[in-house]
Amino acid sequence: MTIITRDDLTPGYKCVQSAHALADFAVNFEDEFKQWQMGSNYLCCLEASESKIERLLHKLDDLKIKYHKFLEPDIGNQLTAVAVEAISREQHKQLFKNLSLTLN
């Protein structure tokens, strides 16, 4: 599973928004979440600009890859994080090669 947060958020806010996205993914895609949890249970945390995230969402839609985007009510329902279902290593490398690891 991959979580992508906006790169302009503070470290604490990235953590909280990631948790929201992951929790909502678990509720909305229960079967996929259980399959991930019982399988690899691998979690990758990345960050990107909002515009990069929006472009990525279009690619995910085209590829029919499931995701949940979290819109934070406290800041006007802005997109802050996305949880993406577990995908193959090859797809992961291709889709996320231009995103940064969350280091802060």
**Domains in the chain, CATH or no CATH each:** 2-101 (3.40.1490.10)
Quickly count helices (H) and strands (E) in the chain. 4, 5
Q: What is the pLDDT of residues 14-60, one digit of tens each?
A: 999 999 999 999 999 999 999 999 999 999 999 999 999 999 999 99
What predicted TM-score, i.e. pTM, was given to this entire model?
Answer: 0.92
Fill in the amino acid letter for 21: A
Per-residue pLDDT band at 101 (split at 50, 70, 90): confident
Residue 6, beta-bridge partner list? 48
